Amino acid sequence: MKIAKWYNTRFWAVYDSKYKLICLCVYKCGALALVKRLSKKPALVVSQSMIHEKSPKIPFVAWKAKC
């Protein structure tokens, strides 16, 4: 799983290993907590230029993580 900034916004995108969008988070700590919860592996933070995917519809996830 990978984490990257969502274009030039304050949001953080969580991608699977094939760069398919899983969800958007408002805070980086929320994205890191989601990755930690979904997998045993640590999150990999990548730059947006590594993502070669047009933005699909944005899934909404309401979940607050403790940072």
pLDDT computed for residue 31 by the predictor: 92
Q: Return the number of other C-beta atoms located less than 10 Å from residue 14's C-beta.
A: 22
Residue 24 has pLDDT above 60, yes or no: yes
Mean pLDDT of 27-35: 90
Greater pLDDT, 67 or 11: 11
2, 15 from 5: Cα distances, Å: 10, 11
Greater pLDDT, 13 or 56: 13
Residue 51 has pLDDT above 90, yes or no: no
Residue 26 has pLDDT above 90, yes or no: yes
> Is this model's pTM higher than 0.85 or not?
no
Q: From CA 57, how far away is CA 67, in angstroms rounded?
A: 27
- Residue ranges per structural domain of the chain: 2-50
Q: Return the number of other C-beta atoms located less than 10 Å from residue 32's C-beta.
A: 20
Q: From CA 16, how far away is CA 6, in angstroms rounded?
A: 15
Residue pair 24/11 in contact by the 8 Å Cβ criterion: yes
